[in-house]
Chains A and B, each alone.
Chain A
Amino acid sequence: MSETQKCCCGGKNPLEQLDQALVKYKGDKGTLIPALQEAQNIYGYLSKEVLERIACTLEIPISQIYGVVTFYSQFHLNPRGRNIIRVCAGTACHVRGGKAILKAIEDKLGVPAGATTSDLRFTIETVACIGACGLAPVMMINDDTHGRLTPEHVVEILERYK
């Protein structure tokens, strides 16, 4: 992109933190995914403005970025809860009653897997395997792993996250 061309965001965006983060990715190859990961760490999700900014800075067409964002389950285009619940739906958890755990959480929070509560306290997700099969059934809330769950126990654990 030449100097005279204006980028789509108009060049005046309050995304300073993002700009600082993006500096190190400029001009290097294969940096789109790390850049998206860092951007999502800052904002919690990837808004249209953020994607446009990344497109301008890394000089990658936004269509291509959108393709990458929608391909990987880690990236999110909508705001998410303060606490992310990841219920393991792996084989070991499946045969040891993982479904009942998910149902208990969905019932308690009143939203299905994949959705966020209206107060933005929780987002419920399922993951293929957390790799803690010895403790099945398992879930992660943020970076904490909780194992050997029972439907009753799960509800108590949720209370600890505000």
Chain B
Amino acid sequence: MQHTRAHVLICAGTGCTSSGAKKVEAAFQTELAKQGLQDEVKVVETGCHGFCEMGPLVIVYPEGVFYCRMQPEDVAEVVESHLLKGRIVKRLLYQEPISMERIPSYKDISFYKKQMRYVLGNCGHINPELIEEYIAVGGYEALGKALTTMTPQGVIDEMKKSGLRGRGGGGFPTGMKWQFASNSPGSKKYVICNADEGDPGAFMDRSVLEGDPHRIIEGMAICGYAIGADEGYIYCRAEYPLAIKRLKIAIRQAEEMGLLGTNIFGSEFNFKLKIKEGAGAFVCGEETALMASIEGKRGMPRPRPPFPAVAGLWGKPTNINNVETFANVPQIIQKGADWYASIGTEKSKGTKVFALTGKINNTGLAEVPIGITMREIIYDIGGGISDNKKFKAVQIGGPSGGCLPEELLDMPIDYDSLLAVGAMMGSGGLVVMDETTCMVDVAKFFLNFTQSESCGKCTPCREGTKRMLEILTRITEGEGKEGDIELLEDLGAQIKDTALCGLGQSAPNPVLSTLRYFRHEYEAHIRDKRCPAGACSKLAAYRITELCKGCGLCKKVCPVGAITGEVKGQHVIDPEVCIKCGACFTKCPFKAIVKG
């Protein structure tokens, strides 16, 4: 084996690739060859580091120096200065948003410091397209341990003891789910991995699939052994082409090494895996709809019971878990349930990956112990609110979750505490909103989403969400009436109680939680015909302040001729003519136009 003195790790996740990582990699190859270093320094493509905002990301080992927003033009300098002379290129290091300090090692960056990266542990550090790299960091040891030293029931007991709960959103104890599937009679059973990550604002499953696909395969195989299944499906959404490609490579490599197939590790256990591509339907993330989709039907949910553990795919007992849940399995088997249960809170064990997005300085993926507070995630890891704006709310759990206000930032987050305040863990998407975000508009946004994704099978979801959306739309357009708030609450409560599946039952959550914590914003829209955040364009009133220099740009862009004024003189908007398109507001070079 050839030894190299340094490694250049280039993130090849979706975020960094779209920021130009491939060009950076090519530049490294050329530059290293030019300097005659191609045998001394190895360039490795890795999965996602989770800090997509700062991409393309490059880490140089052995020092672990973290370069961000790397461009092809910067490569020559890094090769010459860092790799040849051993001098770190300071200007490309990460800069902390508050202290403005440049940090060389990624371990010291505040975004990573408070994290506990186990599920994401390999992401960004190994090449996801080489099984050897996964094996080198201990991969497939857990499968070997389970097959050679543990009974299937022993594996299930270990899972129960670990306290792992489903990471797809519901939070059902994983060990229990496996026990049900194991208890079901029948010789043919299935394992399904739900990789139909459809929640807007969540991308942790994508990162694991792209950055560490073997971890999922290993977790599924262990599950297959535990419940007595010999066949598995990974249902992945078609919007994730890179994830599908890497999974296919990983499955092929595992088959070649005998880690999938027959008599794995010399045991009696056989397991094969197939990938099913989704076809674009959010509701297919619901387990019964997902199975209908694998069977080639319209992906519509059906009433439970029977639960999938009893009658699932093609009527056979089936165990379905989410990507992140399976990704937790190998380490539980390898390091033991006691180790796993030592992380987290009393009823929610382990770590959870959150996708931090929205109006925040550091967007990206953060894996933290359950029980951490929202404030720690948003301010310590996320670096606070961007553009020096004021925090207003954080939306957790996607379209099924809720919006939490500032007062709840110090609450420890776990499955149960979130439910108690009207939100839910969901898949772990955290969208941070500042003072310029209108909460009525956000509620409308989510309802619009669930409404268009409603499969139409049950009336409460099909009709109820439509009526709620109509009410919200009229509120944001200044047509809201007294009694609309009560009507929304009433409808929301009924839909929660009567809808067929999780999509419908949780669809009113964004509306109900914003009504609970931001009722005054709804009232301002209805009573005063005013949008406090200035986000609802129909309610916005634009005004030109004395900052106006009289450049005339606003007059030029106004499509209806509502602006008058002499060159170098104060301009004025005629509110009667103004259609509130906002064109002048975005164009004004002096920020002289204000809304609200």
Question: Chain A residues in contact with chain B, CB under 8 A?
Answer: 29-34, 36-37, 67-68, 71-75, 89-92, 94-96, 100, 127-136, 138, 143-148
Q: Distance in Å from the Cβ of B345 to the closest Cβ of chain A?
A: 27
Interface pairs (6), CB distance under 8 Å:
A33-B296, A72-B279, A91-B445, A127-B239, A131-B203, A133-B202
| Given A37-B277, A74-B238, A132-B52; A95-B18 close (CB under 8 Å) | no
- Return chain B residues, CB-CB under 8 Å to A133: 52, 201-203, 355, 357, 363, 429
Q: Is the CB of B281 within 8 A of A134?
A: no
- A-contacting residues, B61-88, CB 8 Å: none
A47 and B106 alpha carbons, distance in the complex (Å): 52
- Return chain A residues, CB-CB under 8 Å to B200: 89-92, 94, 128-129
Q: Distance in Å from the Cβ of B426 to the closest Cβ of chain A?
A: 12
Q: Is the CB of A72 within 8 A of B431?
A: no
Q: Distance in Å from the Cβ of A123 to the closest Cβ of chain B?
A: 14
A85 and B198 alpha carbons, distance in the complex (Å): 19
Q: Is the CB of A29 within 8 A of B201?
A: no
B433 within 8 Å of A (CB atoms): yes
Contact partner of B279 among A75, A132, A134, A147, CB < 8 A? A75
Q: Give the top 10 A-B pairs by smallest Cβ distance, nearest first.
A: A134-B52, A90-B200, A72-B279, A145-B18, A32-B296, A92-B357, A73-B280, A74-B280, A131-B203, A129-B200
Question: Chain B residues in contact with chain A, CB under 8 A?
Answer: 14-15, 17-19, 51-53, 55, 197-203, 206, 238-241, 276-282, 293-300, 314, 355, 357-359, 363-364, 395, 398, 429, 431, 433, 437, 442, 445-446, 449, 453, 455, 586
Q: Is the CB of A71 within 8 A of B281?
A: yes
Other contacts beyond A72-B299, A133-B203, A147-B15: 16, CB < 8 A: A29-B314, A33-B276, A71-B298, A72-B281, A74-B280, A91-B445, A92-B358, A95-B431, A129-B200, A131-B203, A133-B52, A133-B355, A134-B357, A135-B15, A136-B357, A138-B18
A67 and B202 alpha carbons, distance in the complex (Å): 29
Contact partner of A147 among B18, B197, B437, B586, CB < 8 A? B18
Q: Is the CB of B206 within 8 A of A131?
A: yes
Q: Distance in Å from the Cβ of A36 to the closest Cβ of chain B?
A: 8
- Return chain B residues, CB-CB under 8 Å to A128: 198, 200, 282, 449, 453
| Given A145-B17, A147-B15; A95-B359 close (CB under 8 Å) | yes
Q: Is the CB of B363 within 8 A of A30?
A: no
Contact partner of B296 among A30, A96, A145, CB < 8 A? A30
A95 and B434 alpha carbons, distance in the complex (Å): 9
Q: Distance in Å from the Cβ of B218 to the closest Cβ of chain A?
A: 23
Q: Is the CB of A131 within 8 A of B431?
A: no
Q: Is the CB of B279 within 8 A of A92?
A: no
Q: Distance in Å from the Cβ of B168 to the closest Cβ of chain A?
A: 15
Q: Is the CB of A96 within 8 A of B358?
A: yes
Q: Which residue of B lies closest to A31 (CB)?
A: B296
A148 and B358 alpha carbons, distance in the complex (Å): 12
Q: Which residue of A lies closest to B18 (CB)?
A: A145
- Return chain A residues, CB-CB under 8 Å to B55: 134-135
- Return chain A residues, CB-CB under 8 Å to B299: 71-72
Q: Distance in Å from the Cβ of B451 to the closest Cβ of chain A?
A: 12
| Residue of A34, A90, A94, A129 ringed by the most chain B CB atoms within 10 A | A129
Q: Which residue of A lies closest to B429 (CB)?
A: A91
- Return chain B residues, CB-CB under 8 Å to A29: 295-296, 314
Q: Which residue of B lies closest to A72 (CB)?
A: B279
Q: Distance in Å from the Cβ of B203 to the closest Cβ of chain A?
A: 4
Q: Is the CB of A134 within 8 A of B198?
A: no
Q: Which residue of B lies closest to A134 (CB)?
A: B52
| Given A96-B359, A133-B357; A91-B18 close (CB under 8 Å) | no
- Return chain B residues, CB-CB under 8 Å to A134: 15, 51-53, 55, 203, 357, 363-364
A90 and B445 alpha carbons, distance in the complex (Å): 9
| Residue of A32, A128, A135, A144 ringed by the most chain B CB atoms within 10 A | A128
Contact partner of A95 among B203, B300, B358, CB < 8 A? B358
- Return chain A residues, CB-CB under 8 Å to B363: 92, 133-134, 136
Q: Is the CB of B197 within 8 A of A68?
A: no
- Return chain B residues, CB-CB under 8 Å to A31: 296
Contact partner of A129 among B18, B199, B238, B445, CB < 8 A? B199
A135 and B239 alpha carbons, distance in the complex (Å): 16
- Return chain B residues, CB-CB under 8 Å to A94: 200, 445
Q: Distance in Å from the Cβ of A95 to the closest Cβ of chain B?
A: 5
Q: Which residue of B lies closest to A67 (CB)?
A: B298
| Residue of B51, B282, B298 ringed by the most chain A CB atoms within 10 A | B298
Q: Distance in Å from the Cβ of A73 to the closest Cβ of chain B?
A: 4
Q: Distance in Å from the Cβ of B238 to the closest Cβ of chain A?
A: 6
Q: Which residue of A lies closest to B17 (CB)?
A: A145
Q: Is the CB of A37 within 8 A of B358?
A: no
A74 and B198 alpha carbons, distance in the complex (Å): 14
- Return chain A residues, CB-CB under 8 Å to B298: 67-68, 71
